[in-house]
Chain A
């Protein structure tokens, strides 16, 4: 089973700043099957990025995904107040696993 490790566990930033969230896989994975989700308190996750780099419908272009092999990154440029949430990465082929999440909090 592929293990996904997200870092940092918590990221404290201010609105307007940029954020870089990491997701590292225990073995090389196809970038075609790496997704990122945003989850706010009391809400279901929302798909942000799939195929490592493709934004889901309605997702602002300040969200971008990159990476390949074992290292993947979610970048949020110019943080908006509504971006402060927990972010999960997911691998979804042959087996489906999630990272433990990164909490993005207001500094």
Chain B
């Protein structure tokens, strides 16, 4: 079964750090580009970051650039998001999502992990 499982969320104080993980299984992780997408409570979806299959191409939303770092370990079939200098507006459910090979839409999503930033 194709699956993505996020972990690492929790309650952190403003200015703190957190590292999210996304464990992939059931598919050839190393050939897919991957993304992080977040959703603040009661709000819409916001793309956060993307990383190509071999980590050559990395992109960030303006709202997180300079604070968040995306990475992956293909040998461990895992995706990561290092989040530093966290702000209240970073409070959200964070999803990892797989990009299709033949298209760039997101065809597989994890169940999400909640990140709450307290002031």
Contacts and interface: CB of A to CB of B under 8 A. Distances in A.
Interface size class of B (residues with CB under 8 A): 10 to 19
A44 B109 contact: yes
Given A45-B109, A46-B109, A92 B104 contact: yes
A90 interface: yes
B105 A35 contact: yes
Interface residues of A, number: 25
B26 interface: no
Q: Is the interface of A mostly helix, strand, loop or mixed?
A: strand
A98 B44 contact: yes
Interface string B92-111: 00010000100111110111
A93 B104 CA distance: 8
Lowest 5 CB-CB distances: which A-B pairs, in order? A50-B105, A44-B109, A96-B47, A35-B105, A98-B45
